[in-house]
Amino acid sequence: MSEKARLRNEALNIRGSFSTEKINEVSREIMRNFLNLEIVEKSRKFLLYHSFGKEIITHDLINQLQERGKEVYLPYVIKEEKILGIGKYSKDELASGVFGIKEPARKENIPVNLMDIILVPGLLFAKDGYRIGYGGGYYDRLLKNVEERVITIGFCFDEFLRDSLPFEEFDVPVKMIITEKRVLSTGGGKD
């Protein structure tokens, strides 16, 4: 088993033990930290994800952004190509995707570089922006061609933030990490 796989399994086991109360509380704090950012106020188009299982909850964030007049988009899985497409969010037009995660029922293919902010899921994050996700590489493939102006952000339980993590040449770091305790600019993996 690789070091990344070992760390992924360990994080999944720990996160699996988290209570609903803990997840709700941490999610509220992370959402508050995110919504207080100046870049959020200035941005218009957000690619989020519909949280699943014991992930940091994004449903309230989706609603808050829409109430503020922001455009919200969600990814959808194109399984044959092992990539993500992007569709506009509508709470009345969601479907269960390949992995059981809610995604847009209408499969538009909106270019990723139209986004201002992209929220990237992950289990563990390092202070330099690298992350360990679920192992499919979908987000790394999506992010590899993202323009410099697009802000990529990871939401992370503070206890899952590490000084460093193993990464490979195809891994794409995020530019910012938000936990319930802090907001970190990472440099996006650049020294």
Position 104 pLDDT exceeds 90: no
* Structure token digits, residue 13: 């086991």
User: What is the biggest distance separating any 2 CA atoms in the chain, rounded to whole angstroms?
Assistant: 46
Give the pLDDT of residue 63: 94
Residue 172, helix vs strand vs coil = coil
Average pLDDT value for residue range 173-186: 97
User: Which pLDDT does position 191 carry in this prediction?
Assistant: 47
Q: By the 8 A CB rule, do 120 and 129 touch?
A: no
Mean pLDDT taken over the chain: 92
C-beta of residue 189 within 8 angstroms of C-beta of residue 129: yes
Map tokens 């938000």 to a residue.
178
* Percent of all residues in the chain with a pLDDT value above 90, rounded to a whole number: 72
For the chain, which domains are there?
3-185 (3.40.50.10420)
In the prediction, which pLDDT does 136 show? 84
pLDDT in the model for residue 134: 86
Query: Is residue 190 pLDDT above 70, yes or no?
Result: no
Q: How far apart are the first and last CA of the chain?
A: 29
For 136-155, what is each residue's pLDDT tens digit?
888 999 999 899 999 999 99
Query: What angle is formed at CA 97 by the lines to CA 60 and CA 151, rounded to 5 degrees?
Result: 50
How confident is the model over 45-99, as pLDDT tens digits? 999 999 989 999 999 999 999 999 999 999 998 888 888 999 999 888 888 887 7
- Residue 69's region, left for phi above 0, alpha for psi from -120 to 50, else beta, is left
Q: Which of 16-20, 24-28, 95-99, 120-124 has the lowest mean pLDDT?
A: 95-99
**H or E, element range at 178:** strand 176-178
